[in-house]
Amino acid sequence: MKPMFFLLTALILTGGIQAQELNKVTIDAVHKDVVINRNIYGHFAEHLGRCIYDGIWVGKDSNIPHINGYRKDIVEALREMKIPVLRWPGGCFADTYHWKDGIGPKSERPKMMNYHWGGVVEDNSFGTHEFLDLCELLECEPYISANVGSGTVKEMTDWIEYMNSDQDVPMANLRKQNGREKPWNVKYLGIGNESWGCGGAMTPDYYVNLLRNYSEMAGIYGRWKLFQIGCGANGADYNWTDVLMKQRPGSMSGLSLHYYTIAGPSWGDKSPATGFEKKYYFSGIEKAMRMNELVEKHSAIMDKYDQNKRVGLMVDEWGIWTDVEPGTEPGFLFQQNSIRDALIASLTLDIFNNHADRVKMANIAQTINVLQAVVLTEGDQMILTPTYHVFKMYSVHQDAFLLQSRLICEDYEMDGRKIPALSCSASEDKDGSITLTVSNFNPDKEITLPVELVGATFDKILSATVLTAPAYNSYNSFNQPETVKPTILKSVKKTGNSTLQVVLPPRSVVAITVNK
C-alpha cells in the first residue's frame, strides 16, 4: 500500500480560532507497511574540485592527521553521520574515466585531463582500491558509476570481475597482484550517468538499447547479484522515464533521477551561497518543494509499468546549486552552506521518506567541498555544515518503518507567493520508538504545532533536538564553525497519553523521539 502523505495549507477561518489550531500533525502509529531504505541518506563523491583530493584523500605523506591517506576527521564525521552508501567516481567525470588508469603502483598510473571540472590534470592516485577501501573504513556500501559515454562493455565487465570475482580469472588475479586478495563484492552499479547530457547526449530510445546490452553483460559477469541502476531523467523529462520503464531490461533494479535546486528569484538563476536576501531564502525552499512533484509524477509512470514496485527510484543527484565562493575556481563548484540549505535538506528528506515505497536511494551532491557538501575543509581545518547536522538528526529514520502523517499547516508568504510553512515525516524503529522530524520554513515566526499519535500511546519524550540559526542566511565559517549547530529543544511538552505540543522556532529543523 502506498503511504499517504498530506501537506495541506489551512484556510484562515473566522470565529475566534487560535493561531495554533491552524497547524497540526496526526501520525498513524498502526499501519507500518513500508521501510525507509537507509540508502535514502546516501552521498556522492565525484572527482570534482576538492571533493576527493584535499578533501577525502590527502595521501599517506600528508601532515594532516589521516588513516592510510584518508583525512581522519572526515572519516570520523562521516561515520558519526551514519553514511550508508557512497556514489563514485561521478557524475560527468564517470563517463570520461577509465578504471584501469587508477590501479597498480601510483608512480605508473597515467594522468588524465578532467575536462568537465576545471580542466585540471588528474593523476589517478585515488582509484578503485582507494575508493572501495574507504567504503570499508566507513562501513558503507559503494555505488560504482560505469563509463557508458566513452567506455565499452568489456571495460565495464572487466571492472566487475576485478571488484567482485573470487575465481582464477585474469581480472581477479590482477586485483590480487595489486594487493587485494578478497573481492569487495560491490552491490550497486550505475549504467552510465546523465546519458541525456554530459554522459553522451543520447535520446532515451538510443540509451535504452545500450542499457539492454550493458545490463545483460553486467548481469552475467556479476552473477546476477548486482543491483543495476539505469540512467534516468533530468528533472521533469517524463518521456525519458516512460521509454525506460516501457522497454526496461529485466535486470534493471533502479532508475535514477537528477534534480538541483537553483534558488535564484527566477527559474535558472543561481543564488549567492552567503549574504543573500530573503527572496533567495524563499525561492530556494519554494523550488526545493518541486522535488515532491517530480517524485510523484515519475513514480506514477513507473507504477504504470511496475505495479509491484520492483524498480526503485534512485535520486542519485540532488541538492542546492548556488554561486561559487568568490575567488575560487568556477569549475570546482565550492559553495558555502547556510541554514536555508539545511532546511532544503530536511524538506527533501521528508519527501523521500514519505515516498519510501518507491524511493530506494538518494545521493546528495556532494560529500566534501562541492555543492551542498556536508563537510568543508581548508588546510588542516574542517567544519560541519548545517546540512551535515540535518543528516545526522535524520539518521534515526534509516531502516525504520514509515508512519503515515497528516500535516495541516499555515502558509509562509512572500511577495504574493505562498508555500506551506511546515514539512514533516515520521517513523518507528525496531525498538518501538517513534521519531517525528519537522521543519519550520518561516524565518520570522515561531509556530506552535500540536502532535497526535493515532493508535498508540507513549510514556515519555526520549529526546528533542533543534537546529536553527541567528539569521535566515547564517552559516558556519572557518572562523566561526559552530554558528549553526543542534541544541536541546526545550519548547516541547507532553499534553496527553498520545499527544504533545512543540513550539518550532523560526527557520528550524526539529527531531523528537518518544517511546511507546
Residue 76 pLDDT > 80: yes
Q: Give me the mean pLDDT over the 302-321 stretch.
A: 97
Mean pLDDT across the stretch 477-500? 97
In a domain, 389, yes or no: no
Residue 494 sits in a domain of what CATH number?
A: 2.60.40.1180
Whether 194 sits among the annotated catalytic residues: the reply is: yes
The whole-number pLDDT of residue 6 equals: 39
pLDDT at residue 18, as a whole number: 43
Could you report the per-residue pLDDT of 341-359, keeping only the tens digit for each? 999 999 999 999 999 999 9
pLDDT digits (tens, 9 = 90+) for 420-435: 999 999 999 999 999 9
Structural domain boundaries enclosing 465: 5-33+403-515
Same domain, 180 and 45: yes
Alpha helices in 107-203 (DSSP H): 128-138, 153-164, 170-177
What is the structure's pLDDT at 404? 96
Quick one: average pLDDT of 302-314?
A: 96
The verdict on residue 368 lying in a domain is: no
**CATH at residue 124:** 3.20.20.80
In a shared domain, residues 87 and 15: no
pLDDT score of 9 more than 80: no
Average pLDDT over residues 392-397: 98
Q: Clarify whether residues 29 and 91 are in a common domain.
A: no
Global model pTM greater than 0.75? yes
The residues facing 422 across adjacent strands are 440
16 and 42: one domain? no
Under 8 Å between Cβ of 155 and 147: yes
CA distance 432 to 413: 38
**Average pLDDT of the segment spanning 323-350:** 96
Average pLDDT, integer, range 255-271:
83
Q: Is the pLDDT of residue 10 over 60?
A: no
Local structure of 166: helix, strand or coil: coil
- Looking at residue 463, its pLDDT comes to 96
In this structure, the answer to whether residues 496 and 456 fall within a common structural domain is yes
Q: Residue 2: its pLDDT value, please? A: 37
278 occurs within a structural domain:
yes
pLDDT > 90: percent of the chain: 92
The answer to whether residue 161 is catalytic is no
Q: Is the pLDDT of residue 1 over 80?
A: no
pLDDT at position 7 over 50: no
Q: What is the pLDDT of residue 21?
A: 64
Pick the catalytic residue: 46, 317, 410, 428? 317
Show the cell assigned to 419.
508555500
More confident residue, 33 or 249: 33
What is the rounded distance in angstroms from the CA atom of residue 390 to the CA atom of residue 349? 9
Please check whether residues 117 and 98 belong to one and the same domain.
yes
pLDDT of residue 211: 96
- pLDDT above 60 for 12: no
- Predicted confidence band at 8 (pLDDT cuts at 50, 70, 90)? very low
Residue 124 in domain: yes
pLDDT of residue 86: 98
| pLDDT tens, residue by residue, 110-156 | 999 999 999 999 999 999 999 999 999 999 999 999 999 999 999 99
Confirm whether 367 is domain-assigned. no
Nearest residue to 288 via CA among 390, 137, 436: 390
413 has pLDDT over 70: yes
User: Which listed residue (194, 277, 296, 410) is catalytic?
Assistant: 194
Do 282 and 324 have their domain in common? yes
Tell me which of 304, 337, 362 is where a domain ends.
362
For 14, 20, 396, 451, the CA distances from 10, given in Å and listed in that order, are: 12, 11, 29, 16
Residue at which a domain ends, from 362, 388, 421: 362
b/e 311-342 (16+ beta carbons within 10 angstroms → b) = bbbbbbbbbbbbbbbeeeeebbbbbbbbbbbb
Any residues with CB less than 8 A from the CB of 31 and at least 6 apart, and which?
Answer: 1, 403, 404
- The answer on pLDDT for 19 being more than 90 is no
- Whether residue 417 is contained in a domain is answered as yes
Last-in-domain residue among 300, 334, 362: 362
Domain co-membership, 91 together with 12: no
Note whether 350 and 428 are same-domain residues.
no
Return the CA Rg of the chain: 23
Q: What pLDDT does residue 265 have?
A: 63
Check whether residue 338 and residue 476 sit in a common domain: no
Q: Per-residue pLDDT averaged across 281-289, rounded?
A: 96
User: Is residue 272 located within the same domain as residue 326?
Assistant: yes
* Strand pairing report for 487-488 and 411-414: unpaired
- Whether residue 479 lies inside any domain: the answer is yes
Q: Is residue 373 part of a domain?
A: no
Per-residue pLDDT at 250: 73
Query: Do 350 and 488 sit in the same domain of this protein?
Result: no
Number of separate domains in the chain: 2
* Residue 266, pLDDT score: 63
Give the pLDDT of residue 263. Answer: 73
Cα(31)–Cα(330) distance, integer angstroms: 49
User: Where does residue 179 fall: left (phi above 0), alpha (psi -120 to 50 degrees), or beta otherwise?
Assistant: left
Query: Among 24-28, 72-76, 245-249, 411-415, whose mean pLDDT is lowest?
Result: 245-249
Neighbour count for residue 127 (Cβ, 10 Å): 19
Spell out the residues 6+ positions from residue 17 whose beta carbon is closer than 8 angstroms to its own. Answer: none
